[in-house]
Amino acid sequence: MGNPAKDHRYFMKEALLAAQEAFFSGEVPVGAVAVHNGEILARSGNLRETRQDPTAHAEILVLQEAAKKLGRWHLEGVTVYVTLEPCPMCAGAMVQARVERLVFGAPDSRMGAAGSTLNVVDHPAFSHRLEVVGGIMEEEGRVLLQKFFQERRKEKKIPD
């Protein structure tokens, strides 16, 4: 594809669609897509509540589907787009899978493992490191997350 910034926005919009689907399913609205050679291999939102599976984060699900479609667990040449900076589990899975690039939207100051709190994806002790691009359509992802948690607080009558 041509312009990387434009391409990043295109694929992040797809991740945002997955996040919106998660939102409407009662899941924390994080979405991800895995892209290889300009083609979307996998797209998912979080499914932890739906599956009652603590590992069913959007990133893990797209890594699994991408590996299945490519027929290999080494995901060289794959870019993962995710609406929120990955947690340590997801960042570690991307390192293990040899993902080439991570593009995320909003940073996560509590659990982010791509530079905000930890830097799992670029740790000097690891043999594989990812290229990281952050802040792509950051506001859109943040607004969706804020709306989700505001609604949760209202439902449970938890003070802000």
- The reported pLDDT for the residue numbered 104 is 98
Above 70 in pLDDT, residue 6? no
32 backbone φψ class: left, alpha, beta (φ>0; ψ -120 to 50): beta
pLDDT class of 155 with cuts at 50, 70, 90:
confident
Above 70 in pLDDT, residue 10? yes
pLDDT tens digit sequence for 60-70: 999 999 999 99
Annotated catalytic residue, options 27, 59, 85, 140: 59
The answer to whether the beta carbons of residues 80 and 61 sit under 8 Å apart is no
Task: Judge whether 59 counts as a catalytic residue.
Answer: yes
- The reported pLDDT for the residue numbered 152 is 85
pLDDT tens digit sequence for 78-116: 999 999 999 999 999 999 999 999 999 999 999 999 999
Strand order through the sheet with 31-36: 39-45, 31-36, 78-84, 101-106, 131-133
The answer to whether the beta carbons of residues 81 and 33 sit under 8 Å apart is yes
pLDDT tens digit sequence for 38-52: 999 999 999 999 999
